[in-house]
Structure 1
């Protein structure tokens, strides 16, 4: 179980948020509903989706490394 207030908990939350927003970008109804704003509070979803799609290799590798860390080291 990860703690939200620890560094690894924040990293887990950030990676899951980026992966979820990148998935939302592939679904047409969710893309028009959630990712239409590019500025403001709702723009965070758009920016996370852009990070997830452009840096998909780095995000995937960091997910694998973090899963190994949480399962075996922590």
Structure 2
């Protein structure tokens, strides 16, 4: 079980947030509603979706490495 206040928890939260926003970018209704703003607080969702789509290989490898670390090494 990861703790939110540890580095592992922040890393897992960040990766899941990026993956979720990249997935929501593929859904047309949610894309126009949630990811339409590019500035401000709502711009964080847009920027995470852009990171997830452009760096999908690096994000996927980071998810696999984090999962391996949490399951087997921690």
- TM-score, with structure 1 as normaliser: 0.99
Match of residue 20 from structure 1: 20
Q: TM-score, normalised by structure 2?
A: 0.99
Contiguous gaps of at least 5 residues in structure 1 = none
* SS of residue paired to 1:5: coil
The CA deviation at 1:2 is: 0.5
Q: How does 1:13-52 map to 2 (within 5 A)?
A: 13-52=13-52
2: CA distance between counterparts of 1:13 and 1:48? 12
CA RMSD in angstroms, aligned pairs only: 0.3
User: Runs ≥4 in structure 1, deviation > 4 angstroms?
Assistant: none
Report how many residues are paired: 74
